[in-house]
Structure formats: structure tokens, C-alpha cells
Structure 1
Amino acid sequence: MAAVGAHIVIARPIVEVYDFVTDLRNDPTWWSGISRSVRVAGEGGVGTRYQLEARLLGVSLPTQIDVIEAERPHRMTIKAEGKLPYVARYTLAPAGNGTRFAIYAEIEQSPWRQLAPVLSMVMRHHMRSLNRVLTN
């Protein structure tokens, strides 16, 4: 198993950041590899399921994501199934006049594990994109 992660401080209240990032239908606005995200079950909490269409490093990655933990506004855990299975934990905490948002993901299988340094770099890029979306 490989672990990747990134974090950023966003100059927005914790509830606003939480509500935006944990509604995965917003992912295409800040996660450039995701072209479509549809909620197919649930209301956003535990038991919610999304279907994503994504590309990473030129590979098409249709993905089913289930919310397996949610504690608004501090954390959410998702489990992804598909060509790139992973478990990701979103954590949020107050940070000065903003919110510290972190994603930590555990990648379950090869060949993706070998790409952990690249995937961490990609995650940091998307965190900066998220910051631009939420603060402009």
C-alpha cells in the first residue's frame, strides 16, 4: 500500500470548505482530471455514492466512490473502487481566519503505488486549484 497526501490553508470558513469539498459533484471544478461526478445515492453523508469519470496520466478511470465516514465539518472518508482503488480521508480544522484542508489517500494496488511521488505532486496542484476556486 502507498500513501499520498497534501494540505492547504484556505481563507474561507470551515463549514463552507467542508460543504464544497465533500460534495463530490463539485470535483470537476477543481480537480482537473475529473470530467464528471454524479451522486447516485444518498444525501452527502455516510452511504452516499458517486460515479466519477476521470483521467489520470492519460488513463481513463471510471470510479465508484462511497462515503464511509462523515463528521461535518471536520472529516469525511471515502472508498473508491475501479482501476485505481483507494481510501481517502479529508480532514478540516480551523487555521487562523481560514481552514486547513488535508487529503490523505492510501492506494491499494500496483502499478499506482509506484507513482506515489507523482500522485502527491498532482494532489498539491489540485489543492492550489481548489484554493483559487474558493477564494475568487
Structure 2
Amino acid sequence: MTTLNGSILISRPVEEVFDFVADERNEPAYNPQMRSVEKTTPGPIGVGTLWHVVTTSRRRATPFELEVTEYTRPSRLGSMTRMASADITGTLTFVPHGRGALMSWSWDLRLKGMLKLATPLFALLGRRQEQRIWSRLKVHLESGG
């Protein structure tokens, strides 16, 4: 297992950042690898909400399920992602910071099968990928998207 941590300051109200990130259907707007997102449970977003997601990397589609495991608006959002190759659990935290929000992430990545041997490489790539994704979110929200 490896942990990926980071944070980013977004110049938007904390409630706005939380609400936008909590709705996975918004992620394709700032994550170019996200191909489709479908909410598969009824009702409002909260603990127990399930999402069916498909991402692409190097022209390969990767489907997975994402479950909301914690939902404390507007401060904490936890999730569990189940993929064929890995499980990822973690939390996003949102803290008011001046007129903006400091959003932090902490993900525990557990690779499966032979991929366990590549954990250090996946950790390095994962840290870079997370920073890119959340930097795009920042640009998207701050530009009024």
C-alpha cells in the first residue's frame, strides 16, 4: 500500500468547491481521462452513493465503481474506488482559506496481483496525476466554469 497526499488552494467559496467535487458527474469538465460517469443509486448524493465511472489511459478504457463513504458538507468527502487492478480509499478535506478553499487529498492505494511489485512507480505517477487533475479543477472553477 502507498499513500498519495496533496493540497491546493482554490479561490472559490468552500461550499462551491465541495458541491462541485462531490458530484462526480462534474469531473469530466476538468479531468480529460474521465470518459463517463453515471450515478447508479437514487436520491441525493451522500454516504452510500455509487458511481459507475469509465476512464481512459493510452486508449484503454478502465471501468470502476466509486462509493461515497463519508459526506460531511462542506468539509469532508470520503470514497472507496474498486478497480480490477487496485482499490483506492481516501478523503478530500475542504477548509475555508480567506475567500477561497484549501482542498487536500489523502488516498491509500492498494495494487492487486502482480501490480503490487510496481507500487513505487504507481505512487510516483499517481502523485503527478492527482496534482494535474486538481490543478485543472482550480482553473475550471476560478475561470467561472
**TM class, shorter-length:** over 0.9
Residue aligned with 1:65, SS:
strand
Instruction: Calculate the TM-score normalised by the size of structure 2.
Output: 0.87
Q: Tell me, yes or no, if structure 1 residue 29 matches structure 2 residue 39.
A: no
Is the contact between residue 25 and residue 37 of structure 1 (CA under 8 Å) also seen in structure 2?
Answer: yes
Cα distance, 1:58 vs structure 2:
5.4
Give the direction of change, closer, same or farther, for the CA distance of 1:124–1:57 in structure 2 (3 Å limit).
farther
1:1-136 aligned within 5 A: 1-42=1-42, 43-56=44-57, 59-83=60-84, 84-110=86-112, 111=115, 113-114=119-120, 115-136=122-143
Which SS does the other structure have where 1:85 is aligned? strand
Q: 1:38 to 1:126 in 2, by over 3 A?
A: same
Structure number with greater Rg is: 2
Distance in 2 of aligned mates of 1:2 and 1:58:
26
CA RMSD of aligned residues (A): 1.5
Where do 5+ consecutive residues of structure 2 fail to align?
A: none
CA distance in 2, matches of 1:6, 1:27: 18
Unaligned runs of 5+ in 1: none
Contact 1:91 1:101 in 2 (8 A): yes
% same residue? 23
Q: The residue matched to 1:61 in structure 2 has which SS?
A: strand
